[in-house]
Amino acid sequence: MIFYSTNKSSVPASLKKATLEGLAPDGGLYVPSEIPAFSPGELELLQNAPFTDVAFAIAKKFTGDEIPHDRLYAIIEECYTFDTPLHKLDGKTFVEELFHGPTLAFKDYGARFLARMTGYFAEEDQKLITILVATSGDTGSAVAYGFQGIANTRVVLLYPSGKVSRLQEQQLTTAGGNVTALEVNGDFDDCQRMVKQAFMDQDTRRRLTLTSANSINISRLIPQTFYYAWAALKLSKEHSGRKVVFSVPSGNYGNLTAGVLAMKMGFPISHFIAAANANDSVTRYLDEGRYEPRPTIRTLSTAMDVGNPSNFARLQHIYHYNALEMAHDISGYSTPDSETLETIREVYDHYDYIMDPHTAVGYHSLEAWRRTHRTDDPSVVLSTAHPAKFIESIQDALGIEIPIPGRLQSVLDKQKSTTPIDASYRDLATFLETL
């Protein structure tokens, strides 16, 4: 498969090139030259297939002959050693729990696949690849644990000292092995600036093969189509062939973009709800047809606090820069924090089920859409994080303490290991020289 940049001035890239580059040289995002289609026969064969088989069927259409099929299958088996449960709330409402991976958030699906693809391509070139990432929390932990122990790769994470939660810091600083956490005496913007400078420093780039692992990487997007496809096949079969509606808690809109790819590949999906918090740039675009990004607003669903979502460029490309075409498939809603807390309460009272604030935004948006769209299609809210990651919000909403899952507790018990540095590129360059 060939990939193009959304800015269209870069030369076409292989999956390997697109994965190792992340962003295209012209600053655009890589998109597949064509969206692979599944025939009705292929879909039928996958209807009862386990998650890994659905994932493999999709992945091989994107990898083509760049990776031998037995190796690709092994990679997928290594990535998805945890379950993807569909929790039933009522006859036609389900929560797809995407938080059973090592860092208890859905970013594990993308990061674990990206890590192994990077490792494969690095081995092919006999190179050691250095992944340099600035993080304010969740992406960094998924990357740290995703790349942990992957041969031919090492990760250097920069995070702002004292500006991430204790839980996030533990997740960033305890992976060990090939993962180093740099605790920067500055803020997130300093971390991002330092990483950008490293990418522009020719001396450093001559010595190290640098790549980034942020959410625009195409090898993080592809694996996010797997759980849409698998759930859509399963629920459609159980509901006499009806197509499935997905509500997607969104920040940078990578997750939603992957869903749209799954629908366009032919998996039985009828509609998407783009569920935003108060950061409503895309919600307004879907309603009014004008894209006017605004500064980021801080909310309870922090991982969705994005004023100018990076993957919006991909959505626009897929929908030919036509807001009406996009709005045909996607309805946007924006939920204020007060209603997020209220939703956590309502769902708990009604179904005895605890949702984290991100998932609650998804549920609230689905309910809003259903008030104006009567449908018997089965509907799925993607649950992007485990509620124990947001203990304070759950306590505010429900007044109860929730138990911390074993995996999280063991991370909390580990000894943090960091290298403190100042917020200057000189200090980062000096550190990189020691690698």
Residues marked active site are found at: 107
Tell me whether residue 6 or residue 152 sits nearer to ligand PLP (CB atom). Answer: 6
Could you tell me which stretch among 33-41, 253-261, 292-300, 393-401 binds ligand PLP (CB under 6 A)?
A: 253-261
Distance CA 95, CA 362 (A): 10
Interaction with ligand PLP in 371-400: which residues (CB under 6 A)?
A: 384-385
Non-local (6+) Cβ contacts of 314 within 8 A are 6, 29, 31, 221, 253, 257
Interaction with ligand PLP in 33-62: which residues (CB under 6 A)?
A: none
251 in contact with ligand PLP (CB under 6 A): yes
Tell me whether residue 32 or residue 251 sits nearer to ligand PLP (CB atom). Answer: 251
DSSP assignments along 1-64, one per residue: --EEETTS-SPPB-HHHHHHHSB-TTS-BEEESS-----HHHHHHHTT--HHHHHHHHHHHHHT
Tell me whether residue 182 or residue 304 sits nearer to ligand PLP (CB atom). Answer: 304
Rg (CA), the chain: 21
Kindly state the number of chain residues that form the binding site for ligand PLP, as judged by CB under 6 A: 16
249 in contact with ligand PLP (CB under 6 A): yes
Distance CA 217, CA 199 (A): 16
Which residues, in sequence order, are bridge partners of residue 35?
A: none
Choose, by CB under 6 A, the member of 24, 304, 344, 411 that binds ligand PLP: 304
105 in contact with ligand PLP (CB under 6 A): yes
Structure-block tokens of residue 260: 């749209």
255 in contact with ligand PLP (CB under 6 A): yes
Tell me whether residue 32 or residue 249 sits nearer to ligand PLP (CB atom). Answer: 249
51-63 and 226-238 helices, crossing angle to 10°: 130
Tell me whether residue 173 or residue 250 sits nearer to ligand PLP (CB atom). Answer: 250
104 in contact with ligand PLP (CB under 6 A): no
Interaction with ligand PLP in 201-230: which residues (CB under 6 A)?
A: 215
254 in contact with ligand PLP (CB under 6 A): yes
Tell me whether residue 191 or residue 198 sits nearer to ligand PLP (CB atom). Answer: 191
Q: How far separated are the first and last CA of the chain, in Å rounded?
A: 34
252 in contact with ligand PLP (CB under 6 A): yes
303 in contact with ligand PLP (CB under 6 A): yes
Could you tell me which stretch among 202-210, 226-234, 251-259, 315-323 binds ligand PLP (CB under 6 A)?
A: 251-259
Tell me whether residue 75 or residue 275 sits nearer to ligand PLP (CB atom). Answer: 275
Q: Is 374 exposed, middle or buried (0-12, 13-18, 19+ CB in 10 A)?
A: exposed
Choose, by CB under 6 A, the member of 112, 271, 317, 358 that binds ligand PLP: 358
138 in contact with ligand PLP (CB under 6 A): yes
Whether the CB-CB separation of 163 and 187 falls below 8 Å is answered with yes
Least distance (Å) from ligand PLP to the CB of residue 69? 28
Choose, by CB under 6 A, the member of 225, 250, 299, 331 that binds ligand PLP: 250
DSSP assignments along 242-291, one per residue: --EEEEEE-SSSHHHHHHHHHHHHT-SEEEEEEEESS--HHHHHHHHS--
User: What is the residue whose two structure tokens read 């500006």?
Assistant: 163
Which residues, in sequence order, are bridge partners of residue 422?
A: 185
Non-local (6+) Cβ contacts of 401 within 8 A are 391, 395
What does the binding site for ligand PLP look like in residue numbers (CB under 6 A)?
A: 105, 107, 138, 215, 249-255, 303-304, 358, 384-385
